[in-house]
C-alpha cells in the first residue's frame, strides 16, 4: 500500500534502505531491555566462528548434533553445569525452531550422549539470522563444547504452535475475503496457547463480520485440505500469487505455504492438513492503533476449553436468572427494564420524602436581623434530593437564606440558596465555601445557589451554627 501511494505521488520508495534499517532494529530488539544488548557482538563473532546452524525441524522433532559453543552470563565458556545458571547452547544442527516471524521458538530437552549431562530448553532464538541459540538451565551433569547431544522438541507444544500458525494463515485469508483486499498483516504472535493477528482495517468488526470470518475459517478447517510447502524463486512465488509482507527481508528463494486458497511466504511450522487445526474460536477483537485492528483466537483443544468456559458461565447465568441459558439475553433485558422502572419509583419517593422534610424544617428558620435563615441537617444525603428540599424550603419561606447538609458515613453534601431579593447582600457561593472549608472540603457556585462537600461530620453542627453568626455580621 505504501508503495502504491508513493508511486501515485511520483515518489521513489527506498525498499533496500528500509530493509536495512528494519534488520538493524530487529537485531537491537532481540535483547532490548533484557540487559543482553552488550553481547550482540558475541553472536556476530560466534556466527563467523561456528558457521550457520542447520535447521532440521521441518523434517522431524529429534536429532543428534554437536555442541559448537556455550555461553554463560554473556561470556563464552567450555562447559556448563547446574551451578552456571541460565546458559546458551549452540549446536551444528537442530530440530528446534528459533523464534521468528511472530512464531515463538520451541522448547524441549538436550541430553549429552552417555547421560553425562542434560538441559531443559525453554526458548530458542535467532539473535543473528544464521545462528539458533538454545536457552535454558542445565538440570544435571555437565554439557561441554564438542560433546554430542540428543535434541528432543516438546512435540505437544510444537503441535499447538503449528495449529495456531496455520490458523493464522486461514484467518488472514478469511479477513481479506470478508473485509476486502486492503487487509494486510501488521504483526502477529503465534504461541502454544493462543494466536494474535494485527491487520489493517478502518473500523471494529461488526458481530456479523466476526461470525462470518470465524465460519469461513472453520469451513476451511473442515475441508481438511493439505498444507503444502514449496521453496520457490521469489519471482515465481510472487507470480503464483503468494502474499509477501512489506518490511520482511527475503532472499532469492522463499518458502511458500499453501492451504487451499491461502498462499503466503512463511518460514514457520504448520500442520499437515487443515483438519489438524480442529477448530478456531475468536476470543477478542480490539483496536491497537489508528487503522490497525487485533484479533486474538485459540485453536484445537484450546478452542474447546474456551467454549467450555463460556458454556459454564452461560449455564451459571441461566441458573441465577432462573431460565434457560439461551434466554439469558432476554432475561437481562427484562431485568434492566425493571431496574429502570424501579429507579424512577425511587426518584419519586425521594422527591416525596424531600417534600415532607422541607415542610417539617421550615419551622426551624430563625430571624436574623430581619432575614429568615435556615442552616440545618437534612434527612437526605443525595445532592439532587438535597437541592429539591432546599428549593421547597426557599419557596415556602418566601425571602430567606437556606443552607442544608446531608450526611452519609463520613461524606457531607452541602447546598445553599439565597432568594433573589437578598442576592445583593448575600452570596450562596460564599456561604457554602465557608461552611465546606470548616468541614475539610470545598464548595462554591452562583450567588443564588451553590453546592459543596466535606469529610468531617463531627464539625458539622458547629459549622451550621456559625452560618447564623456570619449573617448577623
Residue with cell 548434533: 65
Per the CB < 8 A criterion, the answer to whether 455 and 439 are in contact is yes
Query: Three-state SS for 441?
Result: coil
Q: Identify the pLDDT of residue 19.
A: 63
Span 149-189, pLDDT tens digits: 999 999 999 999 999 999 999 999 999 999 999 999 999 99
- pLDDT at residue number 250: 78
The CA distance from 142 to 42, in Å, is 23
**Residue 276 to residue 223: CA distance in whole angstroms:** 11
Domains and CATH numbers, the chain: 31-153 (2.40.30.130), 159-314 (3.30.980.10), 361-472 (3.10.310.40)
Q: Tell me what pLDDT residue 373 has.
A: 95
**Are 302 and 162 in contact, with CB atoms under 8 Å apart?**
no
Q: For residue 404, what pLDDT is reported?
A: 95
Who's near 352: CB < 8 A, 6+ residues apart?
none
User: Mean pLDDT for each 10-residue chunk of the chain (473 residues)?
Assistant: 61 67 48 48 86 95 96 91 95 97 96 93 94 96 96 98 97 97 94 96 97 98 96 89 75 91 93 97 96 97 94 91 88 91 80 61 90 91 88 91 93 95 94 95 95 95 94 86
CB atoms within 10 A of CB 297: 24
Do residues 189 and 102 make contact, with C-beta atoms less than 8 angstroms apart?
A: yes
Residue 31 confidence (pLDDT): 38
Do 433 and 443 meet the contact criterion of CB atoms below 8 Å apart? yes
DSSP 334-362: HHHHHHHHHHHHHHHHHHHHHHHHHHHHG
Q: What is the pTM of this model?
A: 0.69
Question: Nearest Cα to 365, choosing from 387, 388, 393?
Answer: 393
Looking at residue 313, what is its pLDDT? 92
In b/e form, how buried is each residue of 41-61, taking b as 16+ CB within 10 angstroms?
ebbeebbeebeebebbbeeeb
Amino acid at each position: 500500500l505504501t508503495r502504491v501511494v508513493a508511486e501515485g505521488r511520483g515518489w521513489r520508495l527506498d525498499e533496500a534502505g528500509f530493509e536495512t534499517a528494519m534488520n538493524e532494529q530487529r537485531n537491537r530488539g532481540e535483547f532490548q531491555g533484557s540487559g543482553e544488548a552488550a553481547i550482540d557482538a558475541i553472536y556476530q563473532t560466534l556466527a563467523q566462528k561456528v558457521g550457520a546452524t542447520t535447521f532440521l525441524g521441518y523434517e522431524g522433532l529429534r536429532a543428534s548434533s554437536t555442541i559448537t559453543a556455550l555461553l554463560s552470563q554473556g561470556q563464552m565458556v567450555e562447559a556448563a553445569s547446574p551451578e552456571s545458571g541460565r546458559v546458551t547452547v549452540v549446536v551444528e544442527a537442530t530440530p528446534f525452531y528459533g523464534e521468528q516471524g511472530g512464531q515463538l521458538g520451541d522448547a524441549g530437552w538436550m541430553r549429552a550422549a552417555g547421560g553425562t549431562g542434560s538441559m531443559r530448553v525453554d526458548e530458542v532464538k535467532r539473535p543473528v539470522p544464521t545462528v539458533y541459540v538454545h536457552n535454558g538451565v542445565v538440570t544435571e551433569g555437565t554439557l561441554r563444547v564438542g560433546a554430542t547431544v540428543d535434541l528432543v522438541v516438546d512435540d505437544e507444544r510444537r503441535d499447538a504452535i503449528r495449529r495456531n500458525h496455520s490458523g493464522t494463515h486461514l484467518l488472514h485469508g478469511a479477513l481479506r475475503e470478508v473485509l476486502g483486499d486492503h487487509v494486510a498483516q501488521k504483526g502477529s504472535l503465534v504461541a502454544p496457547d493462543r494466536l494474535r493477528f494485527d491487520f489493517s482495517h478502518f473500523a471494529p468488526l461488526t458481530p456479523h463480520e466476526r461470525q462470518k470470518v470465524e465460519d469461513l475459517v472453520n469451513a476451511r478447517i473442515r475441508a481438511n485440505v493439505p498444507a503444502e510447502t514449496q521453496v520457490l524463486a521469489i519471482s515465481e512465488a510472487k507470480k503464483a500469487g503468494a502474499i509477501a509482507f512489506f518490511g520482511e527481508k527475503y532472499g532469492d528463494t522463499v518458502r511458500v505455504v499453501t492451504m487451499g486458497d491461502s498462499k503466503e511466504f512463511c518460514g514457520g511450522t504448520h500442520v499437515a492438513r487443515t483438519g489438524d487445526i480442529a477448530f478456531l474460536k475468536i476470543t477478542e477483537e480490539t483496536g491497537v492503533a489508528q487503522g490497525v485492528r487485533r484479533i486474538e483466537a485459540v485453536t484445537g483443544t484450546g478452542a474447546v476449553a474456551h467454549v467450555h468456559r463460556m458454556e459454564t458461565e452461560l449455564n451459571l447465568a441461566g441458573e441465577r436468572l432462573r431460565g434457560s441459558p439461551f434466554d439469558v439475553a432476554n432475561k437481562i433485558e427484562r431485568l434492566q427494564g425493571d431496574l429502570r422502572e424501579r429507579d424512577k419509583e425511587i426518584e419519586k419517593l425521594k422527591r416525596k420524602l424531600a417534600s415532607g422534610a422541607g415542610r417539617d424544617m421550615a419551622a426551624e428558620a430563625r430571624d436574623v436581623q430581619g432575614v429568615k435563615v435556615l442552616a440545618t441537617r437534612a434527612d437526605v444525603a443525595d445532592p439532587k434530593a438535597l437541592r429539591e428540599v432546599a428549593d421547597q424550603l426557599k419557596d415556602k419561606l418566601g425571602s430567606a437564606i437556606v443552607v442544608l447538609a446531608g450526611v452519609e458515613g463520613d461524606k457531607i453534601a452541602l447546598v445553599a440558596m439565597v432568594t433573589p431579593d437578598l442576592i445583593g447582600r448575600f452570596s450562596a457561593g460564599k456561604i457554602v465555601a465557608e461552611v465546606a472549608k470548616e468541614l475539610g472540603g470545598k464548595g462554591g457556585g452562583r450567588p443564588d445557589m451553590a453546592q459543596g462537600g466535606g469529610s468531617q461530620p463531627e464539625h458539622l453542627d458547629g459549622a451550621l451554627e456559625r452560618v447564623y453568626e456570619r449573617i448577623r455580621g
